Structure 1
Amino acid sequence: MSREYQTVILAGLLHDIGKFIQRGEFKGSLKVAGKHPAVSASFIKAKSGAFDKVTDISLLVELVQRHHETTRFPPEPRVQQADSSIRPLAYLVSAADNYSSAEQGEESGEYRDYKTGPLASIFSRLKLTNPTPDVNHYRLRPLNPANSFPESFRQLAPEQTNNYLKDFGRDFDKIISKVNLSDFDCLYTHLLSLLQRYTWCVPSNTQEMAPDISLFDHLRTTSAIAACLYLYHQRENTLNERDVADNRPDKFRLVVGDLSGIQNYIFDIANIGVGGVAKRLRARSFYLNALSEAVSHNLIHEFDLPVVNIVMSSGGKFYVLLPNLPGSFERIEAFQQELDRWSVSQFGGELAVNLAQLAFNGQAFNNFGQVLGEISERLSKRKSAPLKGYLVKSGVWMTDNFKMHAYNGEEGLCQSCNKQIATYIDEHGDKLCENCRRDLLLGTMLPGASYIAYTMTDVPAKYRVSTFHLHGDYSLAVLADAPEADFPGYLICKLNETNIEEIPDHPALPKFMANYIPLAGEEHCTGCPGCKDEKKPAFGEPVYFDCMANRSRGRKMLGYLKADVDHLGSLFVYGLRDNQDDRNSISRIATMSRMLDLFFSGRVDQLLNIRFKFCYTVFSGGDDLLIVGPWNEIVDLAVTVQDDFKKFTGQNKNITISAGIGLLKPGVPVSRSVMSADAALEESKERIIKRETEGRDQLTFLGRTMKWSKVAPLLETANQLSSWLDSEKLTVGFLRKLLNLSKMHRCYYEHEEVRGLKYLPLLTYEIARNLAPPGTRDTDAQAVRLWAENIKNLDHDHTVYLDFLVKYALLTKE
């Protein structure tokens, strides 16, 4: 990168830092009075020692000070007042700022104090078919999933704001004192991390009716757009005022990448006893996510872009913003062909990285949701013909490329996957291929990982055992401690923590990742039958699945919880529109995407660490999750995730999640178990319950689909039945008869078959025969009798879901 290019990128990142700084009171040389561009410039001048080794300070000051063209600002901060020699660059940063916030939203109509105005929840105004709720706001707190729930208040306390800014200033000074300021990428990523930590909860524009764009997301997308504009105009030799201001040419290219075949690859483990399924399952999920990240890194490195140009990335899918340079289309298509070839040679075509691309102009930033909709259609078309770049040439099938060339190894097929040739025998005598051996090693290291490091060169010998190849020149190291200065990583990610000051010599970012799994030890492994064979897990290693099952209440079963956000595509494309206003700016969409991933990657991991310690994360990130654990704990987790998600999204009924729970024995192959959870989730999505108008926003478990609003009360009743079983106020025999009677009731209730009305007289008979008579002095017996009499009401929830209540209560018994 040239010094001028680095200055432009940094100007995009810091152009509105004054909006944050001017909220506080500072003594000394830092000016906080006046318009925010002047405050941004004052900040750059006061902290010039942090930037002067990698940027042109005078140019940086001018670009952040003069990035507005509107006459609403006095002459001094306007682009037109910049020196003619740098004016094109000032217009460039101004254009990036405008594109990032292409739709500023409806003004409130009244002046609001920018010092005390809080950030509104991005989820508050999402709308599909339901009314939107009251707008909730965020407190000023460093980024942490637990701190990211909006609250009902309207103004921040000035004293708290000032203290918050002092903390920011203190941490910024730590960066200056520790970080390698001669390395632009190192400085840039540490600044980006600091801004994320502190400005995620600061509004970009306090004067909107609902200021819901995070300043952090506005800054990072402005920097990304500025980088694209600079490279475009430099290559086209059009770095002048007129051409920079022209928003008609297609200066941008968006690339979406999607890793297909993830689920089949993760769960297609032929022999669950070989190599430790718990290790390999989490390792495969983690590896594929890292692989997707590496592919996105490859794109930004190919086009010489900063990390912010990966505008969204989670769950095996990413969006990269590129300059629309000559030959860009061909370069990306060539990359697709290379990915297709690699997929066949490395994974036999089980996995495929599908890329789609779309060129667009500056005007399209006014409705970035439409851009996402168009590129999504192109991605769907690409996915309908996977691996075409390798299997087809000039419209002709390349038949030789369909052949898998394997050698006859002495060990035969891998005992784990039954697909690749075995090249390794582990300490238990299991024969494994290279991929399954990698999964085994990676799965052993992941529980103790605090950092992941991406590298493109050979690593020192001490790091090789923890380094795994991804794609091409890209590899990943899994580290328990921060890497030393000699580690050749181009990006270090600290897991689940935003303070990265202990990584001063490398480009570094925080990364929230749901990485929790129960480990063998006194708390998680107490000598259950699954741990008594000769292959029991060592202390600190992932516990076996049958160990988790043995933690279950009653029957020793595993629960597989699968959940995702309903109507996600529609929410991104249409959720920010209404009849008066389109609010689909790239900043707002980036805020929504980042916050969703924060919940599934960060908050879910916290829940498992704090409350659900015997559950195992297969994956959780983006907008979905799959978690395995003792069946009763999985049910409680599902309810907790739903409750937290409602609070996280401000009780907005337009954004909901659906979930399914599969209940299986621990010895059932993982692929079949996940299919059960998949089927339950699909039922939650599609099944329309009587008297409802649509599916979704539901849980399916034990063969019944329920709206979330009914789940907690039904579980309470089911647990009460279990308690009555324990105290012998109910018998298993009586409950089994109720189970049969519930089938009759459903014939009437759901299918309107009159013969189902036999339910009532038969229920009356069973109550009289099995329960205490009315008027008994035993209060528990009275409660049982009252409950049983209530289920004579054909529309009562306990009657409608009687089979669920009974099955749950019986599950709690051995």
Structure 2
Amino acid sequence: MDDTTLKVFCAALLHDIGKAGNKNIFGIDDEYIARHENVYLPVRKGRYSHYHAIYSAAIIEKNAHLFPPEFTSRQWGEGDPLVSLVAGHHNPASPLQWIIAVADRISSGWDRDIFEKIEDEIPASDYLNTRLFSVYEQLLKENDEYVTPDDFQYSYKLSEMTPENLFPLDRRHLVNNGYPHGVEEYRMLYQGFIRALSELLPREESPELWIEHFDSILMVYTWAVPAARVGKVIPDVSLYDHSRTTAALASSLYLYHNETDTLRESSIRNYEEEKFLIISGDFYGIQDFIFKTYADTKKHRSKILRGRSLYVSLLTELAADMICRRIGLHHNSAILNTAGKFLIIAPNTEWAKKAVQEVDREINRWLFEKTFGESCIGITSLTARPLDFVERNFQKLWDKITAHIERKKFSKLDLDLYGGAVENYLQLFNNSLHSPICPFCGKRPSDESAEYSPYVGDDIVSSCKLCRDHIFLGAHLVKNRNIAILSAHARCDSPSDRLLEPIYDKYQITFPDSSLGSLARNKDLFCYWDIQPWSNDKIESNVTIKMINGYVPVYSENDKYDERILFSEKTEKKKLEAIDQIKIGDPKTFTHISAKALNISHNNGSSCTGVDALGVCKADVDNLGILMSCGLRSERFTISRLATLSRLTNAFFAYYLPHFLMANERYSDVYTVFGGGDDLFLIGPWNAMLELATKLVESFASYTCYNENIHLSAGII
């Protein structure tokens, strides 16, 4: 990714951060404002307006020591300095400033005429007391409903993201309890934001990696800040989602105009050209990938389930990353990336189209070799104009995107390349190994590099490289919350603690316990993620937040004295083995989890009653595709609202759910196989699952403002 593209991306991500407060909260003096008014601010009705643009620049300059040094350098990339790009989007005077300005308008779903009219109509008001409305409340409602702010019953508390704060509250309840507090709530948010900013890594080594980490604290502290807070605009779009989509649009606009030699105002403001390439990806066969096996061994089954569930997320995340890197975009240009699906906004250039085709071939060739055609990723693309993103037009564009994705499902594999029997399949097996065929999947050949691996164990001995990697991931997920994505050739501290089969032959995975500064400087560290943000009551992390790891029950001191675990075992030998398995901090076995379904009875000595069995709960949101494509009125169906809806839905399953299981003793023995996007798969004591399913349906109803058109359906076995 070249410096100018990265600078444009960063500037667009930061362009509205000044909306998260006012000059007093940010500590901006009048002299600073007066010095920049005539440069950056537009004049409306004889007065300067949109002061948040200056506030955004001031936050960067005032806290320059907390940002990468490139952010305040005049030599970084081509064109205007970053601070000028951030502040100039409402009074653009250069091509790069116009790039940010147009991306801002497209993200909002406004075309030029509508944008300017609305800007003229915005009056001064008590904007600090405006709160974010829930997009769920208005889904599939009649056109004459929810037409003014007074029609909305629910809003979010202005606060940092926590599992509790994700639930919208009755606005009357907020008012009766003294909310909103306006300035004080914003001040607390900003103070928390600055504290988190001061701890962010790695500021000096890699601005590209740093901005991905910054994106996470921006989410934590601005998710409940409305992007639009004054005038006639319904405040149901998060400032975070608006900023994120603006950044993706801006970097693609820059690459398009730069590569087509049209980087000038008149061309940038042209909404009719097909400037964007919308790239979508869909992982086919997720459940088969996680659960399907042709082997009969039960060894490491829980680790394999955990590892495969994470692996699905890694495959889709890294497929999107691979496309972005090949085109020259930031990883976060994938504005949607959950539940095995992603959506990337890219420039409509020949280079980008070629890159998509190349990556598609490379990814699916690799997947075919590893899964023999059982799994693949469908990648589609279509061109779009800026005009396609504005009010009433985006729904048509989204329908076209959805249709492309659906058509791709009927041609998942290129039969000219992969049709027929797998060539030389039998020649892949090494009969000198302990087990030539992998005992875990029963379809891939065992590999010499996995033979006697400590992750496989001395009793099984053999494994294919992929199953060994799944066990490796499953073993580390519980005890490590940080995961590093490295280049395949990067040097690791411990060669045994990494994948044997780098993903797509390009990505290595480790669970680091030391500094990765040198890898970041050498550009070998692609991503550094915190995959357990739910493990505390609030998010505390200095790296990127990725909600891709579910809750796994682990042994505690109390389990040593739990009679149910021993009662479920019939022989003394089994009882001793059960005791030996209890190691504080290790994941509980399914046998021990099933024992938690027993009831301790003290009527006749210490005994247990009931059935020790597992229950399986699967649930998903009914007709989510319809909700996303038809739920909003056409004039409100914008890319930012779509991003808000997708992120909030995923957060319920991938953030709230695992924290809820961890924090509630009744459900703390429930195991998350996967949870994200719009569905979940849980395993736990059978009697706890009955209660849990009801509880989750009730919680989701509250989460979605009790909208009768939104349902969570669950089934239990």
Out of 624, 633, 636, the residue aligned to residue 691 of structure 2 is 636
Out of 473, 478, 491, the residue aligned to residue 506 of structure 2 is 473
1:77-96 mapped onto 2 (5 Å cutoff): 78-79=91-92, 82=93, 87-96=94-103
TM-aligned CA distance change 1:188 to 1:52, over 3 Å: same
Aligned position for 1:541: 586
Alignment partners' CA distance in 2, 1:110 and 1:22: 17
Q: CA deviation at 1:547?
A: 2.4
Alignment partners' CA distance in 1, 2:107 and 2:492: 44
Alignment partners' CA distance in 1, 2:514 and 2:678: 29
What one-letter code is carried by the residue in structure 2 that aligns with 1:18?
A: G
Provide, for residues 217-274 of structure 1, a one-character-per-residue CA deviation record: whole Å limited to 9, x for no partner: 1111111111001111110000011111111111111111111111112112345643
Alignment partners' CA distance in 2, 1:335 and 1:460: 25
Aligned position for 1:726: none
Aligned position for 1:455: 486
What one-letter code is carried by the residue in structure 2 that aligns with 1:139?
A: K
Aligned position for 1:6: 6
- TM-score where L is the length of structure 1: 0.72
Provide, for residues 479-528 of structure 1, a one-character-per-residue CA deviation record: whole Å limited to 9, x for no partner: 4x46443444221111233999875xxxx311223421223454457334
Provide, for residues 674-711 of structure 1, a one-character-per-residue CA deviation record: whole Å limited to 9, x for no partner: xxxxxxxxxxxxxxxxxxxxxxxxxxxxxxxxxxxxxx
Alignment partners' CA distance in 2, 1:350 and 1:318: 20
Alignment partners' CA distance in 2, 1:434 and 1:123: 44
What one-letter code is carried by the residue in structure 2 that aligns with 1:135?
A: Q
What one-letter code is carried by the residue in structure 2 that aligns with 1:13?
A: L
Q: CA deviation at 1:162?
A: 4.3
Aligned position for 1:244: 268
Q: CA deviation at 1:308?
A: 2.1
Q: CA deviation at 1:8?
A: 1.9
Aligned position for 1:201: 224
- Cα pair 1:4 1:55 within 8 Å, conserved: no
TM-aligned CA distance change 1:617 to 1:151, over 3 Å: same
Q: CA deviation at 1:39?
A: 2.2
**SS of equivalent to 1:529:** coil
- Cα pair 2:516 2:525 within 8 Å, conserved: no
Alignment partners' CA distance in 1, 2:396 and 2:559: 49
- Identical-pair percentage: 28
Q: CA deviation at 1:186?
A: 3.4
Aligned position for 2:37: none
Alignment partners' CA distance in 1, 2:28 and 2:263: 38
Out of 55, 61, 73, the residue aligned to residue 39 of structure 1 is 55
- Cα pair 1:300 1:307 within 8 Å, conserved: yes
1:201-600 mapped onto 2 (5 Å cutoff): 201-207=224-230, 208=232, 210-271=234-295, 273-366=297-390, 367-388=393-414, 391-392=415-416, 399=420, 404=425, 405-410=427-432, 411-423=435-447, 424-425=451-452, 426-429=457-460, 431-468=462-499, 469-479=502-512, 481=513, 483-487=515-519, 488-497=524-533, 503=542, 508-520=543-555, 522-524=557-559, 526-527=565-566, 528-529=568-569, 532=575, 537=581, 539=583, 540-553=585-598, 554-577=610-633, 581-600=634-653
Provide, for residues 543-600 of structure 1, a one-character-per-residue CA deviation record: whole Å limited to 9, x for no partner: 33232222214222221111111111111111111xxx52111111111111111111
Alignment partners' CA distance in 2, 1:378 and 1:516: 35
Aligned position for 1:702: none
**SS of equivalent to 1:617:** strand
Deviation larger for 212-221 or 484-493: 484-493
Alignment partners' CA distance in 1, 2:279 and 2:541: 34
Alignment partners' CA distance in 2, 1:302 and 1:183: 18
Alignment partners' CA distance in 1, 2:183 and 2:101: 33
- Cα pair 1:278 1:543 within 8 Å, conserved: no
What one-letter code is carried by the residue in structure 1 that aligns with 2:22?
A: Q
TM-aligned CA distance change 1:200 to 1:549, over 3 Å: same
Aligned position for 2:606: none
Aligned position for 2:602: none
TM-aligned CA distance change 1:307 to 1:21, over 3 Å: farther
**SS of equivalent to 1:21:** coil
RCO comparison, higher one (Cα < 8 Å, 6+): 2
- Cα pair 1:279 1:440 within 8 Å, conserved: yes
- Cα pair 1:54 1:182 within 8 Å, conserved: no
Out of 49, 53, 66, the residue aligned to residue 70 of structure 2 is 53
Q: CA deviation at 1:194?
A: 2.3
Q: CA deviation at 1:138?
A: 1.2
Q: CA deviation at 1:196?
A: 1.2
Provide, for residues 189-210 of structure 1, a one-character-per-residue CA deviation record: whole Å limited to 9, x for no partner: 2332221121111000013453
- Cα pair 1:619 1:626 within 8 Å, conserved: yes
Q: CA deviation at 1:149?
A: 0.9
- Cα pair 2:107 2:242 within 8 Å, conserved: yes
Provide, for residues 127-169 of structure 1, a one-character-per-residue CA deviation record: whole Å limited to 9, x for no partner: 1689778431111222122221111226520353243244146
1:74-113 mapped onto 2 (5 Å cutoff): 78-79=91-92, 82=93, 87-103=94-110, 112-113=125-126
TM-aligned CA distance change 1:222 to 1:408, over 3 Å: same
Q: CA deviation at 1:318?
A: 1.0
What one-letter code is carried by the residue in structure 2 that aligns with 1:143?
A: M
What one-letter code is carried by the residue in structure 2 that aligns with 1:61?
A: V
Gaps of 5+ in 1: 69-77, 663-814
Alignment partners' CA distance in 2, 1:282 and 1:3: 38
Provide, for residues 746-789 of structure 1, a one-character-per-residue CA deviation record: whole Å limited to 9, x for no partner: xxxxxxxxxxxxxxxxxxxxxxxxxxxxxxxxxxxxxxxxxxxx
Q: CA deviation at 1:331?
A: 2.9
Alignment partners' CA distance in 2, 1:298 and 1:245: 30
What one-letter code is carried by the residue in structure 1 that aligns with 2:129?
A: T
1:724-803 mapped onto 2 (5 Å cutoff): none
TM-aligned CA distance change 1:23 to 1:138, over 3 Å: farther
Alignment partners' CA distance in 1, 2:386 and 2:154: 32
**SS of equivalent to 1:448:** coil
Residue 119 of structure 1 pairs with residue 132 of structure 2? yes
Alignment partners' CA distance in 2, 1:332 and 1:312: 17
Out of 50, 67, 77, the residue aligned to residue 89 of structure 2 is 67
Aligned position for 1:652: 707
TM-aligned CA distance change 1:566 to 1:591, over 3 Å: same
| Larger radius of gyration between Structure 1 and Structure 2 | 1
Q: CA deviation at 1:23?
A: 7.2
Alignment partners' CA distance in 1, 2:366 and 2:28: 58
Alignment partners' CA distance in 2, 1:117 and 1:623: 29
Provide, for residues 34-62 of structure 1, a one-character-per-residue CA deviation record: whole Å limited to 9, x for no partner: 62223223333333453552565563333
What one-letter code is carried by the residue in structure 2 that aligns with 1:25?
A: I
- Cα pair 2:439 2:460 within 8 Å, conserved: no
TM-aligned CA distance change 1:129 to 1:630, over 3 Å: farther
- Cα pair 1:26 1:32 within 8 Å, conserved: no
**SS of equivalent to 1:12:** helix
Alignment partners' CA distance in 1, 2:142 and 2:509: 44
- TM-score where L is the length of structure 2: 0.82
